Amino acid sequence: MHRFPFVIPLLASLLSAQSYDLLIKGGHVIDPKNNIDRFMDVAVSAGKIARVAANIDPKESKKVVDASGLHVTPGLIDLHGHVYVWREAGGEGVQADAFSFRSGVTTIVDAGSSGYQTFPDFKTRIIDRAKTRILAFLNIAGGGMGTGKEDEIALLDADAAAKMAKANPEIIVGFKSAHYAGPGWESIDGAVKAGEMTGLPVMVDFGRINAKRNINALFLDKLRSGDIYTHCFSGHREELLDNGKLNPAMEAGRKRGIIFDIGHGAGSFYWYVAVSAYAQGFRPDSISTDLHINSMNAGMKDMTNVMSKLLNLGSSLQEVVRMSTWNPAKEIKRPQLGTLDPGSDADIAVLRVDKGRFGFVDSAGARNYGSQMIVCEMTLRAGKVAWDLNGRASQDWKTFPYQKATWKH
């Protein structure tokens, strides 16, 4: 007989009481979908959000993370990135997992890197193997971006694009028209046709404008409510007129339901446009990076850097979180994302807002100073710690149960 018969039942009761795998305690929770903007705790169990409430007992969790002084949000959604790394040399794609989690991003939407001809390779080699959730806007051009064939009208096949989207509804969230330099509307028309066939939105990187192809016609005649205009502060398509006034087409498009996305990139965010737009009351609907190898080390930096730019332009922290979580989730018709709903995947970002004097650089290399900078302290993807800047979920080394091993040659 065991000398201490009460020990086993006691241990069992303690273990059963620990109903959560991880508890993020004491943070300021911002969950725009659920109108939560206050100090609360977030409990995680089996990779899902288990509970969001005030004063959850830490004894109920196997691990507790102190989030005092920090902001706890849904995992960020980068609506416009490029993470399709080709087999052959070339292309501008970035490995998603190497970049996403350290900036709080748990979902990246690849914006047209692949088309209906190349999506199967993208899915098999990249999407299916990534820890980051990767969704995709399918390029209306069959080969996707960077092939030099985006102007070939024969490859702008709406039927083939719609067929591919219908075969992959869990990944493909819409269609992309990008970089088209032809004189007409073939790329836009093809993408919108595919969108009509599938009930999915279109994202537009408008390419070159001319007397016929301009944003007035794009917003009023071509795009539908719910379609997305990315690079909205680029200035390349007369978003801002020579007199410093916002092009009336921007407000007209918004009234028709057009969505305006940042898509910062290496050449699509300029202070002279952004500052003027904010001064005239025009703010974007969603924040995205346009992540690729030429933007990641230039003015763009990462998702939190772009969020910080809009924070310093005048958006509140709550607004930039909304632009980076619930708004993009709605734009791609994924209401299960961008939220801390109990039962949803435990995709969580823990953010810190530093105060000081910080320099932020636009796509031209011009600097603007700001007093706030958002930093990602921790990222959880499906309940697992994917990024932990200061080891908040770790155990002190002095008490850590090391498993020592000896390597002999």
Residue 69 lies in a domain: no
Q: Tell me what the pLDDT averaged over the chain comes to.
A: 94
Q: 88-126 pLDDT, tens per residue?
A: 656 789 999 999 999 999 999 999 999 999 999 999 999
Lowest mean pLDDT among 58-72, 202-216, 236-250: 202-216
Question: Is the model's pLDDT at 223 over the cut of 80?
Answer: yes
Question: Is the model's pLDDT at 149 over the cut of 80?
Answer: yes
Q: What is the mean pLDDT of residues 200-223?
A: 94
Lowest mean pLDDT among 13-27, 269-283, 331-345, 388-402: 13-27
Q: Supply the range of the domain harboring residue 261.
A: 75-372
Instruction: Confirm if 265 and 236 have CB atoms less than 8 A apart.
Output: no
Q: State the pLDDT confidence band at 5, using cuts at 50, 70 and 90.
A: low
Instruction: Confirm if 23 and 56 have CB atoms less than 8 A apart.
Output: yes
pLDDT of the residue at 326: 98
Residue 215 lies in a domain: yes
Residues in the chain, how many? 409
Question: Is the model's pLDDT at 361 over the cut of 70?
Answer: yes
pLDDT of the residue at 405: 76
CA pseudo-torsion sign 229, 234, 237, 243: positive
Question: Is the model's pLDDT at 59 over the cut of 60?
Answer: yes
Q: Which residue, 144, 92, 142, is CA-closest to 113?
A: 144
Question: Is the model's pLDDT at 150 over the cut of 80?
Answer: yes
pLDDT of the residue at 10: 45
Residue 197 lies in a domain: yes
Residue 136 lies in a domain: yes
Sequence letter at residue 244: G
Q: State the pLDDT confidence band at 64, using cuts at 50, 70 and 90.
A: very high
Q: Residue 66, CB half-sphere, CA atoms under 13 Å: how many? A: 7
pLDDT of the residue at 210: 87
DSSP conformation class of 179: S
Residue 233 lies in a domain: yes
CA 53, 54, 60, 61: dihedral to nearest 10 degrees? 80
Instruction: Confirm if 139 and 112 have CB atoms less than 8 A apart.
Output: yes
pTM given for the model: 0.94
User: In this prediction, what percent of the chain has a pLDDT beyond 90?
Assistant: 88
List the CATH number of the domain containing 322.
3.20.20.140
Q: What is the mean pLDDT of residues 276-301?
A: 96
> Could you give the residue ranges of the DSSP H alpha helices within 302-405?
303-313, 317-324, 326-331
Instruction: Confirm if 36 and 76 have CB atoms less than 8 A apart.
Output: no
Q: Provide the domain count of the chain.
A: 1
Pairing of strands 384-388, 367-381: antiparallel
Residue 3 lies in a domain: no
Residue 152 lies in a domain: yes
Residue 40 lies in a domain: no
